[in-house]
Amino acid sequence: MKVYIKTPARLHLGLIDLNGDLGRVFGGLGVAIDHPNVILEAEKSQTLTVSGKKVELTRKLATNFLEAYGLKEKVSIYVEQAIPEHVGLGSGTQLALAVATATARLYGVKASTNEFAAVMGRVAQSGVGTAVFEQGGLVVDAGKNTKDPAQRIIPLICRLPFPDEWRFVVAIPNVAKGLANEAEALAFKLLPPMAPEEVGKICRLTMMKLLPAVVEKDIKSFGEALTLIQSIVGDSFAKAQGGRYSSSTASKCIEFMMQIGAYGAGQSSWGPTIYSIVKNGEARELQVKTKAFLDSSIGGEVFVAKTNNRGAIIKVIK
Amino acid sequence: MPKINKISVTAAAHLHTGNFDMTGDLGRLYGTVGFAVDRQLEVEVAKGVDVRSEDEAAYLFASRFVDAFDLAGAEVNVKKTIPKFVGMGYHTTLALSIGTALAKLYNLKLTTEQIALTMQRGAITSLGVHAFKVGGFIVEGGFKVDQREKMIPPLIFHQEVPKDWIFVIAIANEPQEKIVKMREKEDIILRNLKLMPKETSDMLSRIVLVKIIPSIVENDLKSFGEGLTAFNSELGKFWNEYQCGRTYCHPVVEEAIKIMLKRSTCACQTSWGPTIYGIVDRQTQAELLTNELKKYLSKNGGGQVFYTKAANAGACIKEM
């Protein structure tokens, strides 16, 4: 028996409440995209063996899972593809959940994806990555309950199918990687709380513009809401990242994509990944122009992604 | 295929909590929060050669639908009713029930949204439309300002209400006459409504997204009730010029809200009132609160008080 898993990647569209005085803090908006992917195959084994990509991290994750569930048996994992690390595409959560889910299937461990995320230590700030793995589409999580510091599961509050005919043009400029792990936790600690008025703006933009636009497939309204939410969130992160976005290249590239016809644009998590949203037929041209724009300065990768509306693919091969 | 002679539709009443965007600068207006509750309306509808019903409102809606699609006729029998003109959605629920039955009888392929637009119900706030479709706790995302009364606001959040939550509902008699009169002018009032300051709409949206929705997902009634009460009372202040400067529609209702708040973190007025509701999670609490409110209302113009669960499913449609 073998378990095959292919995960989506995650674009982060913004945080909701960086104040917390109503009892919840963070709360995130995210969307699942069809690539890059974590693709792995796992089978039962006498010894823990890992091959392919991200060998060391995968070994650590598998060890963690086997110990957490007291499994004496081991597992052999081949990581065929991985999502680039620390660029804002949610690689850590997808790999951790892929390892956990595959091992669980092999040994009949029954628990929810939320439970696996907690066991694998992926619930620090956000439930978005878990929801993306499980269901895909556009997701909103409830944020952390400030009265419950030991909270293990950050619940999903909204999940909508994301229009199949929309495309993200995703750019990863060749700049330093974004914050992760301890550096990220420290940055969150150092940030001044967002003013409640700013949080209110994000909330209203989410409920009265972004979410209805997804339901109604109105890309213009979606783009406007996204860009506004991104600018409010970005400005509140300025102290930690030195500006609205993670680098001046990111800022200029976002501006450029908007000028050449994107409906909305932003930065995923701490960057350096940025993205814009366009209709299917417009994506290729925007990709080519954005690539040329980046190549005229520091260079970088640019690709077109569509949404993943089903979450990770999990196949058990007998 | 056997011929269908009659269709029965049973649909739940709803309770309105409020609208979070009365500013409209983002391109949409209202945006509504509310619940479907287990008080059922029941109609039986058959084809006819003309329109017949003993119920005036049912006759009106059946006629509207028959005219819109050029049908032969309809016979509508209202078997069970819910309180009228008190903010529990009687008219919208009745209209959708009749429209849904007629669409089925005449084999018209229509969505509930299309039926609502035909009936001219549910286009400003679509709580009743989504209560009819899916029940439970509902948040809808308002209508586009340039499509007012031409579209039905979309559902953006939906959740089953936890099974142990009990709604205590009080309908005071005293303010009813005044409210019925005001409802006749509702269209004019809504068309000429002052705009809410942006900051207030922002703040209300935040209460919904960051407090109310996460609390129901986590089954935290205390926090949920606090959020609803704060949200509803803030809106009461916005609408107060239609309530003689009060947050709630009448002094009797104001006092009943205070009684509710002694045993529930939730006390809200639905729509223009006079209906108010609280939520508790123990039967004994529900009984105590019902008795206290009954006692109070009996000395203050009378009224009905009862408790019920949420209706966690949409309308039930049966062929007879």
For chain A, the structural domain boundaries read 2-161+310-317, 166-306
pLDDT in tens, B195-233: 999 999 999 999 999 999 999 999 999 999 999 999 999
CB contact under 8 A, B213 and A205: no
Q: What integer is the mean pLDDT of B43-69? A: 97
A110-134: average pLDDT: 90
Would you call A200 and B218 a contact, using CB atoms and an 8 Å cutoff? Answer: no
User: Structural domain boundaries of chain B?
Assistant: 6-160+312-319, 166-308
Above 70 in pLDDT, residue A155? yes
Nearest to A24 by CA among A249, A167, A193, A183: A193
Express each pLDDT in B11-34 by its tens digit: 999 999 999 999 999 999 999 999
- Cβ distance of B210 and A22 shorter than 8 Å: yes
Helices B56-68 and B90-105 sit at what angle, rounded to 10 degrees? 40
- pLDDT value of residue A318: 86
CB of A153 less than 8 A from some CB of B? no
Nearest CB to B214: which of A157, A205, A209? A157
B251's CB contacts (< 8 A; 6+ apart) are none
CB pairs < 8 Å spanning A and B:
106
Torsion of CA B16, B20, B21, B26, to 10 degrees: -130
Write out pLDDT tens, residues A223-268. 999 999 999 999 988 878 888 898 999 999 999 999 999 999 999 9
Interatomic CA distance for residues B267 and B227, integer angstroms: 10
Closest C-alpha among B1, B290, B304, B81 to residue B167: B290
Across the interface, whether the CB atoms of A142 and B217 are under 8 A apart is answered: yes
CATH of B6-160+312-319, one of 3.40.50.2300, 3.40.190.10, 1.10.150.120, 3.30.230.10: 3.30.230.10
Which residue from A minimizes the CA distance to B145?
Answer: A208
Asked if the bond preceding A155 is cis, omega within 30° of 0, the reply is no
* DSSP SS3 for A173: strand
Q: Can you read off the two tokens belonging to residue B231?
A: 């949200």
Q: What DSSP string describes A86-111? A: TSSS-HHHHHHHHHHHHHHHHHT---
Closest CA to B65 of B105, B102, B113, B91: B102
Q: Is the pLDDT of residue A124 over 80?
A: no
Does A25 score more than 70 pLDDT?
yes
Q: How far is B7 from chain A (nearest CA, A)?
A: 31
Return the pLDDT at B228: 98
Domain A2-161+310-317, CATH among 3.40.50.300, 3.10.20.30, 3.40.50.11270, 3.30.230.10 = 3.30.230.10
Mutation site, A208, A209, A219, A229, interface B, largest B CB count within 10 A? A208
Q: What percentage of chain A carries pLDDT values higher than 70?
A: 98
- Rounded to two decimals, the pTM is 0.94
pLDDT band of A83, cuts 50, 70, 90: very high
Is B13 in contact with B93 (CB distance < 8 Å)?
A: yes
Cβ separation B202–A142 shorter than 8 A: no
| DSSP state string for chain B | -PPP-EEEEEEEEEEEEEEEE-S-TTSEEEEEEEEEEEEEEEEEEEE-SSEEESSHHHHHHHHHHHHHTT-S-EEEEEEE---SSSSS-HHHHHHHHHHHHHHHHTT----HHHHHHHHT-SSS--HHHHHHHT-SEEEE--EEGGGTTTS-PPEEEEEPPPTT-EEEEEEESTTHHHHHHHHHTHHHHHHTPPPPPHHHHHHHHHIIIIIIHHHHHTT-HHHHHHHHHHHHHHHHHHTGGGTTT-SSSSHHHHHHHHHHHHH-S--EE-TTSSEEEEEES-HHHHHHHHHHHHHHHHTTT-EEEEEE-B--S--EEEE-
- Supply the pLDDT for residue B242: 83
> A22 and chain B: CB distance < 8 Å anywhere?
yes
**Disruptive mutation site among B210, B215, B216 for chain A (greatest number of A CBs within 10 Å):** B210
pLDDT of residue A150 exceeding 90, the answer is: no
Whether the CA torsion B93, B94, B100, B101 is positive or negative: it is positive
Widest distance between CA atoms in chain B: 60
Nearest-Cα residue of chain A relative to residue B159: A157
Higher pLDDT, residue B61 or A184: B61
Question: Cα(B72)–Cα(B106) distance, rounded to whole angstroms?
Answer: 9
Same topology, domains B6-160+312-319 and B166-308? Answer is: no
**Contact at CB, A196 and B217, closer than 8 angstroms:** no
pLDDT-based confidence at residue A141 (cuts at 50, 70, 90): very high
Place of tokens 């796992």: A42
Which residues in chain A have Cβ-Cβ distances shorter than 8 Å to B214?
24, 27, 142-143, 145, 155, 157
Do the Cβ atoms of B205 and A204 come within 8 Å? yes
A207 to B26: CB separation less than 8 angstroms, yes or no: no
Calpha distance A40→A256 (Å, rounded): 37
pLDDT at residue B1 is higher than 60: no
pLDDT tens for B141-195 read 999 999 999 999 999 999 999 999 999 999 999 888 888 888 888 888 888 888 9
Quote the CA–CA distance of A101 and B74 in Å, as a whole number: 57
Contacts of A204 in chain B (CB under 8 A): 20-21, 26, 201-202, 205-206
Interface contact flag, B27 A16, Cβ < 8 Å: no
pLDDT band for position B2 (cuts 50, 70, 90): low
Half-sphere exposure of B139 (CA within 13 A, CB side): 25
Average pLDDT, integer, range B128-148:
98
Binary contact (B208, A155; C-beta < 8 A): no
Handedness of CA A225, A228, A231, A235 (dihedral sign): negative
- Which element (helix H / strand E) includes A82? none
Minimum distance, in Å, between the CA of residue B54 and any CA atom of chain A? 40
Check CB contact under 8 Å for B142 and A221.
Answer: no
3-state SS assignment for residue A28: strand
Mean pLDDT score of chain A: 94
Judged by CB atoms closer than 8 Å, whether chains meet at A199 and B206 is answered as: yes
Tell which phi-psi region holds residue A105, choosing left (phi > 0), alpha (psi between -120 and 50) or beta. Answer: alpha
Q: Is the pLDDT of residue A270 over 70?
A: yes
Give me the CATH topology for the region A166-306: Alpha-Beta Plaits (3.30.70)
CA angle, B114 then B59 then B85, to 5°: 85
Q: Write the DSSP symbol of residue A153.
A: -
Q: pLDDT, tens digit, for every residue of A160-193?
A: 999 999 999 999 999 877 777 677 777 777 788 8
pLDDT bin (cut points 50, 70, 90) of residue B61 is: very high
Pairing of strands A300-306, A264-267: unpaired
Q: How confident is the model at residue A148 (pLDDT cuts 50, 70, 90)?
A: confident
**Best residue of A26, A154, A197, A203 to probe chain B, by most B CBs closer than 10 Å:** A203
Assigned fold of B166-308 = Alpha-Beta Plaits (3.30.70)
Instruction: Note whether A221 contacts B: Cβ–Cβ < 8 A.
Output: yes
Q: Which residues of B touch A17 (CB under 8 A)?
A: 206, 210
Task: Tell me the three state secondary structure of residue A21.
Answer: coil
The predicted model gives B265-271 an average pLDDT of 95
- For residue B5, what pLDDT is reported? 85
